Amino acid sequence: MESPHTQDFHVRDLPTRSVTLFPSQAQIVREIKNVTLKPGPNEITVVGVTPTADEHSIKVEGTGSATITDITVKLLPNRDIFQEIYPDSDSESESEATSEEDDDDDDKVNDALEEVRDKLIALKDEQKRAREVISSSESRLKILDSYNHSLERKCGVNIEASIETYRVEREKVFQDHMDGAARERDLAKEILKLTKEKTRLEKVQAKEKAKADREKAKVKRAKEKLREKQERREREALREKVRVRQEREQFWPRSCYTIKISLDAGANFTPGSSRRSSISSLADVKLVTEKDKETDAADDTATSITCDLTLSYVTSSAFWAPSYDLALSSTSNTGTLSFDAQLTNMTSETWANSKVTLSTSQASFSGLHDDTPKLVPWRLKIVGKLNQWEQADIVHSHEEQHHKQLWSTQQNNAVMQKPRAGLFGVNPNPFQQAQAQAQAQSLFGKPMQKPAFGSAQMNNQMAPAGFGSAAPQAKTSALFGGSANANANTNTNNYQPGGGLFGNSNNTNNARPMPPPPPAAPTGPPRALARSAAAPTAAPQSEGLFEPPQTAPNPDDAPSTIPADNLDGQTILDAAPLLNFQDSSFEETGLTSTYDLPHLKTLPPSTTPSKQRVARITFTSITFTRTVVPKYKPAAYLRATLRNTSKLTLLRGPTGLTLDGSFLGRSTLPRCSAGDTFSIPLGVDPAVRVAYPKPEVTRSTTGMFTKGENAVYTRSVTLVNTRAAAGKPVAITVLDQVPVSEDEKIRVDLLTPAGLSVSTTPGVAAKGVVTGEPGRVGGRKEDKEWGKATAVLRKEGEVQWNVSLDAGKSVKLVLRYEVAFPTGERVAQVY
């Protein structure tokens, strides 16, 4: 049998035609252009496909004069060597050990001082000579005296001649002695003068030497600082090098998919495609008219055949999620919403210069295996008194509870994530590991918890499922031979991450972990709810109403009534810096929306998502409302209601809020279809002050019951609009309540506002009553024109005031009710 002509391609060398990102996965299309085929069987091998790809989604298509006969996909060990692909830089900034010359040069001698010293030495020598002359004259005089005494004992001595000789010699000796003494005195004076000059010059030299030493120490300190700065730079460069290497190791595949494509060149059939599951496909591809080339030097008649192939596959380790920035203006009632997309690629591949498309298809479909449920008859029967009675059997049927549990499981387990612990990382040899540890310890002061060039260590958390798709299922077993204790739990409340992410370890510092499936969302942002639950109840404000507030209200304490939207609750990512991007083109086909990003993009593997501008939406006629529930908290909560007038569907995601140029913080934008409205809380409005003093109670024993107990309770709330007098009126909704009697012996009558009653006609609102009085007692005449307020009584004893309060004005709303019950009875709240 003729052996096939083989060709190998690495996926990193193949151009990327397009990348389509979904909320929980991505589809990649790569091209293999101008593949040269020989007549007969050919085998093309593509290696290096990310191990996170779905092997069943791999598809090969193409054009050319060839037939795709077979496709095989295998997960094989990565044969590439990490050090060859990412070699260590040989041009390491070696610390140039510039041997510090101690600059121990001999001190420069002062020439003047040296000259004085030389003169002193010469003068002292002359002084010695002068003293020698004096000493010699004294010795000679002694000799003369001794000779003179010796003449007395001799006979026949000529006395005159001897005396004359003595006189002459003594004069010579005396002259020599006088000359020596005079010379010594002159030399002593010169020596004293030069000694003083020497002392002065020595002091000057000492000062110069001290100054030079200070300059030398200064230069030495500067050199020390320069050397320390260079060492810090080298340490930072090494840290950065280690960080880059560790990040590369996180996405270095230990195993990767190898795709073998068998083609038969020479046959002409109709075009088609082939998937990974094909055993023997007869799908041929279109003919192309290209000039034949000579491929075999030995056989000039052998001609080459070219074809173009496209390789597509799906991976769950790449996705996108929405992010917003909402800027509102309360003066013009307008707003601007910047719709951004956070793109995440956590595969082992880099998609360079590719067309990137965002799709929301998984926001509308829950799965291909999810069929329409069928109702099962709900039957009831009477059970004995001894049997345990479960009221839930009447409220919810067993089938209903079962299907709700299945639906919740499907919402959190739609896309199955592969365990990454056995798929990514680099296994260093022991020498590399010990060397890296020693180097890191010497540089950073303490031993690292993991090898600097070892396996990457992260928690095995999984990508969030988006817009209705179920979140990834926790899984701990290794893929293709790896052993681990599998403990996949379908209940998201017991979510437990598996092994270390990207390398069999436990560190979480190297990369941002992907968010786990969140539980059912409560009514409001988690941070606001947590703070509201932890904060103590605010004390009622009854004094200092028209003075500046003592403490600024916390915007995060505002309760939120945004409904939990489980269809896209898993699409929220961590907040990212808001950047400026080019807008994308938008297209909506059926139930799916797509956004084509401008220009070609490069998406390298990274734990940090990149951001791309999708659209910019302008809102007009925004309604700002304020709600006050003084019984619980004396604060006016501001809320903005917006209408989505664009053609885009706004998906649930994090948003930054800016009001009148001031950044408020981060919140969550609810899902909103085109043409629908949504509201978003803006925290407490500090311009509206609320006072809610303690209730006034008046008790009596007269009333509608004989010898009954009556109590009249009076509560009031005072609102102050502290905005400038030129400002517009603000709309405020005030909510309070009166107790509701659950016993026929207790009667509750609403006294003020008078004339309120609950509407008994379904769908018809209760009639409102105009109420309210100026909040400033004894104020100016202008304070009486504060605006208007209408009170409405709703069910369950709720009283609602719709207030329009002018700028700079104040209003007082009074609630008075009477509670009557028989004497001797006690009244308590029913829980």
Tell me the C-alpha distance between 61 and 311, whole Å: 7
Question: Torsion angle, CA of 347/348/353/359, rounded to 10 degrees?
Answer: -10
DSSP collapsed to 3 states, 730-775: EEEEEEEECCCCCCCCCEEEEEECCCCCCCCCCCCCCCCEECCEEC
> Terminus-to-terminus CA distance in the chain, angstroms?
87
pLDDT tens digit sequence for 295-354 = 444 443 345 688 999 999 999 899 999 999 999 998 889 999 999 999 999 999 999 999
User: Rounded to whole angstroms, what are the CA distances from 495 to 180, 483, 505, 508?
Assistant: 115, 20, 19, 18
**Does a cis peptide bond (omega within 30 degrees of 0) precede residue 753?**
yes
Domains of the chain with CATH codes = 5-78+254-315 (no CATH), 112-250 (1.10.287), 320-366+520-690 (no CATH), 695-822 (no CATH)
- At 159 the pLDDT is 72
Mean pLDDT across the chain: 73
Helix and strand counts by DSSP (H, E) for the chain: 7, 33
Residue 824 DSSP class: T
CB 667 within 8 A of CB 328: no
- In the prediction, which pLDDT does 173 show? 83
pLDDT band at 231 (very low <50, low <70, confident <90, very high): very high
Omega cis (within 30) before 41: no
- List the 66-77 sheet strands across, edge first: 5-10, 40-49, 255-265, 66-77
Q: Please check the confidence at residue 261 and state whether its pLDDT lies above 50.
A: yes
Q: Identify which of 171-175, 374-378, 686-690 has the greatest average pLDDT.
A: 686-690
CA 4 to mean position of chain CA atoms:
52
733 burial via Cβ count (<10 Å: 0-12, 13-18, 19+): middle
Per this entry, what is the length of the chain?
831
In degrees and rounded to multiples of 5, residue 645 shows phi and psi of -85, 0
Structure tokens at 503: 């390398």
Choice among 42-51, 574-583, 603-612, 693-702 with the minimum mean pLDDT = 574-583
Distance between CA atoms of residues 543 and 111, nearest Å = 89
- Above 60 in pLDDT, residue 203? yes
Which has the higher per-residue pLDDT, 537 or 650? 650
Q: How sure is the predictor about 716, in pLDDT bands with cuts at 50, 70 and 90? A: very high
Report whether pLDDT(374) > 80: no
pLDDT tens-place string over residues 54-104: 999 999 998 888 888 999 999 999 888 888 888 876 544 444 444 444 444
Helix (H/G/I), strand (E/B), else coil: 198 = helix
What tokens appear for 556 in the block?
Answer: 């995060």
CB burial class (10 A; 0-12, 13-18, 19+) of residue 519? middle
Please name which of 432, 374, 431 lies closest in space to residue 403, comparing C-alpha atoms. Answer: 374
Yes or no: say if 730 and 721 are a contact pair by the CB < 8 Å rule: yes
Report the C-alpha gap between 640 and 619 in whole angstroms: 11
- pLDDT given for residue 450 in this prediction: 39
Q: Extract the tokens encoding 281.
A: 């496909």
Tens of pLDDT, residues 16-52: 999 999 988 999 999 999 888 888 899 999 999 999 9
* Residue type at 146 in one-letter notation: S
Query: Residue 612: beta bridge partners?
Result: 341
Q: Using DSSP, state whether 44 is helix, strand or coil.
A: strand
Helix H, strand E, coil C: the string for 413-464 is: CCCCCCCCCCCECCCCCHHHHHHHHHHHHHHHCCCCCCCCCCCCCCEECCCC
Find the helix packing angle between 430-444 and 159-250, rounded to 10°.
120
Q: Is the pLDDT of residue 711 over 90?
A: no
How deeply is 90 buried, as exposed, middle or buried, from its count of CB atoms within 10 A (0-12, 13-18, 19+)? Answer: exposed
What angle separates helix 159-250 from helix 111-150, to the nearest 10 degrees? 150
Assess contact for 168 and 161: CB atoms under 8 A: no
- Greatest extent of the chain over all pairs of C-alpha atoms, in Å: 185
Rounded to whole angstroms, how far apart are CA atoms 159 and 57?
152
Output the CA–CA distances (angstroms, integers) from residue 593 to 339, 362, 811, in the order listed: 14, 10, 50
Task: Find where tokens 């499936």 sit.
Answer: 517
C-alpha R_g of the chain: 49
- Mean pLDDT across the stretch 761-788? 77
Taking 80 as the threshold, does the pLDDT of residue 370 lie above it?
Answer: no
Place of tokens 């009954």: 708
CB 479 within 8 A of CB 422: yes
